[in-house]
Structure 1
């Protein structure tokens, strides 16, 4: 029987992460990027954070550079993580992205190559071949089940949106199972808060679209702090009780914003707050000297950083007012 991994086994990688945090894109650095008067000034700030040249005029190249940075981070930390499953939680979403791309390409009789991202647990070419041959035994069990069900749904309904919903549900199930298997309360909490954010976002979106609770039932995820049945009850009441349901949780302010969005308020602010709650949860990692929490927090902070960089650089390139860009940036823990 393998020895149980202890917090102290993370001493070395925790120390590395504390050093690596110095290159994160802090709020101060994002303000500097917003205020920069030239592209050269922007590149200097990004260079100090370890990024290559990122050109918003070429979004495809910029996305490729950000993907390469993401892949390098995951690969770097995978080498020092005592338990690789903490890295898997951040990699597995790319497996599900690739399944979506492959299935859609098959349906349209096109090549998915340009849409695949080789950052999952399973190499993209290997996953593609397994799906082509139907030999799924070597895939992670949840992923294999997801491929089987998604194929059936797509073949039966010809509805790519339903196929995506199936894969998203399996992705969260997979993430939750990996977190549970590690025994980490912090990692499990991270997955749980993401599920709650996704369900709250979906509730408000479906109500704004005029969809009923039966539609919502098919797109909610299990595993959050708020049970799907409680969310469905709010849907049945056409949004009544939304703020009250989330009042005892970390989503209190977000739900209040959601209630305003249902009355015609801005949806952008609400959706940003959903993401910010996840960032606030991760901020707890800053107060943990060693263990898995600093690793999880850092990886999640990098994911938020890649999103923010794209929003910021594309916004600057389009000449969007800095205050508008600022309002769209997601909260990080630095």
Structure 2
């Protein structure tokens, strides 16, 4: 009975997402009359119409909007409960699924999760890398325990709890023999260089644009936009271009001589690192340890002691900055 009720809620949410019964039936690979019958059962249960016809699409009524919010929350909670029960039944030491944005998931999160895995040999740890909005959706639907993603004031984290952890300085990454001359540059000088950027509209692009406007600058023009930091860095090194990147993403390349880190002297540009999770989320000991580790790193990066009860149980359970970034030069690249 519970499975059938949850399936009806999932069907209802699918109809909302697809904007119609036919497309929902095709997506779920079921007969259209069956979908219509299930919707009638739901409407009878709540004693109110949930949809009205809007041209060729179905639109939610006011009651439908309220029901949709409740249904999405129930489905997300049920997904989380199923995962928790499966882990208990399997006798695992615990599972952790983290959703991350691109650069954060490539450079920042893996060393942290590796340190956590060394401390908990039976842990089942997974990290999914995507753009921030997709990472947040994964948490909202219960498919990830929390997300670590680029912070943007324009993000809409509802219904998630959003916590800004720390800010990473941005530097100009340049080819070893390319422009500019020297290890320092002004913001106006950056604008005159051939630059590689991230795709327009992603969180990093929006937050960078807002900071540039606060310094009285228009949007930068790019010779090319690429969707991953590794591709951007390769393009910079091969063509003598430049890119604005968080210091942690270029530290290893600077150490190896593949790139130069050029400090921006008249502006402090940053990437915010955010933690996102469901308000009602119950964290297992493993998941709580991961959250505490993130907060410990945030406190260390800010130069302040960890809040009571938030520090890891032992120093070894949370990597210091050298472990997280590979080298303390990730801090000094901005100076």
Do they fold alike, i.e. is TM over 0.5?
no
Q: Which has the higher helix share?
A: 1
* Rg comparison, structure with higher value: 2
Give TM-score scaled by structure 1 length. Answer: 0.26
Give TM-score scaled by structure 2 length. Answer: 0.26
